[in-house]
Amino acid sequence: TALHDGASRRGIDALLRSGRLMQPVRGILVKAGTPDDVASRAAAVCRILPDGAAVCRGTAAWLLGVDARPLGGHRATPPLECAVPKGRTPIRRPDVSCYATDLTAADVTEVAGVACIAPSRTAIDLARWSTPVIGLGAVDAMARSGLVVPAELLEMVERWRGDRFVARARRLIELCDPRAE
């Protein structure tokens, strides 16, 4: 936007060096003082995502209040993960994982002003793509907080019947216990 509005690359570099701008995600500049947290980084990356795309998996879980980082990952900021609709080109940034997947309008919601994969889809994606321990923990936490209902997840997961890791997701959802702590 700054380049489009007439700012020079040299001027932008000077603002970065002086600390008046910062770069939470490569290629995205924000005003200095913007919190460097998952929500701010997710909002920044959404500025460069194609239409219909959203943050997903662990990033979506974090924005929904669930920590789905792998064991030992508590020392690091959760990585940014995004999903773009099939047929769109995933973005490539060193600090962002981006996946092309079958997104529908019902799969995307807004959380704190950020395009985010809906809780039910997030739970299924985590059950599919995370390790079983992390996937089950995330689904349990989401069920405990009332974000998802396991019986509804079991119906929804059939949308991907025959796809990779769906059997594992189904098994983990069957093991889900909203009373787990």
Query: With contact defined as beta carbons under 8 Å apart, do 38 and 44 qualify?
Result: no
Give the DSSP H/E element, type plus range, for residue 171.
helix 166-175
Q: Which two tokens stand for residue 138?
A: 């995330």
In contact, 115 and 38? CB cutoff 8 Å:
no
- Mean pLDDT, the chain, whole residue set: 91
Q: Where are the beta strands (DSSP E) in 15-170?
A: 21-25, 28-31, 54-55, 80-85, 96-101, 108-111, 114-117
pTM of the model as a whole: 0.87
Give helix 166-175 / helix 132-144 axis angle, nearest 10°: 50
Asked whether 14 and 26 are in contact (CB, 8 A), the reply is no
What number of other Cβ atoms are within 10 A of residue 164's Cβ?
10
Length of the chain counted residue by residue:
181
Whether 26 shows a pLDDT value over 90: the answer reads no
Q: How many CB atoms lie within 10 A of CB 88?
A: 16
With residue 102 as reference, give the H or E element that holds it: none
Model confidence at 2, pLDDT cuts 50, 70, 90, reads low
pLDDT in tens, 56-113: 999 999 999 999 988 888 887 778 999 999 999 999 988 899 999 999 999 999 998 9
Residue 42 and residue 79: Cα distance in Å, rounded? Answer: 10
Residue 86: how many CA atoms within 13 Å on its side-chain side? 4
- Calculate what percentage of the chain has a pLDDT beyond 70: 98
What's the DSSP call for residue 62?
A: H
